[in-house]
Amino acid sequence: VEGLRTALELTRTAELLNKVHGETRECEELLAAALAAEPESAGALAVLGLVTHTRRKDVGEAERLLRRALQVDPGHADALCYYGDVLLDSTRKQYAAAEELFTRALAAQPDHVTALTSYGLYVQEFRKENEVAERLLTKAVALDPQHPDALSHLG
């Protein structure tokens, strides 16, 4: 239980460092510590997958980490969304699989801001369903008025 609590706290701090400050090295160090405390932490694996994809541009390693996170917790909404984003990467272009991951994340957590935003952006860009995208993004902003991705893509 203590390892799980430590891993959760370290993962939250790492996620904040990544989102707000873009501190890749410090973020990776915190995630390594989280995984040392709790090797099966789906949250730490998911955030490490996100950082590996968005900061390191290592799509293969990001996919491996996110698959591992989903083996630990198949309904982990962040891991589902981050993996969906990896599948949309120009090196993967697995659009149907990405959409399925976004809808699974929303089925698991209908008010998950990242899932609403990721699926909203997917629907907007790949399905050209602007009304559906606007509903999803509006809901995301209602839940998190400061969410930068949702805000930047709304009307």
CA 67 to CA 108: how far, in whole Å? 17
- Nearest CA-CA partner of 37 in 9, 17, 62: 9
pLDDT tens, residue by residue, 110-122: 999 999 999 999 9
Q: Name the residue type at position 18.
A: N
- Stated length of the chain: 155
Give the per-residue pLDDT at 27.
81
The arithmetic mean of pLDDT across residues 128-153, rounded, is 94
Nearest-angstrom CA–CA distance, 79 and 65: 9
pLDDT in tens, 11-32: 666 665 566 456 688 888 888 8
Terminal-to-terminal C-alpha distance of the chain: 45
Q: Look at residue 1 in the predicted model and tell me its pLDDT.
A: 40
144/8 Cα distance (integer angstroms): 21
What is the overall mean pLDDT for the chain?
89
What's the whole-model pTM score? 0.87
How far, in Å, are 5, 15, 71, 123, 133 from residue 127 at the CA level? 40, 30, 29, 5, 9
32-73 confidence digits (pLDDT tens):
888 988 899 999 999 999 999 988 999 999 999 999 999 999
Q: Report yes or no: 86 and 63 within 8 Å, Cβ to Cβ.
A: yes
- The whole-angstrom separation of Cα 103 and Cα 127 is 14
Task: State pLDDT tens for residues 5-15.
Answer: 566 676 666 66
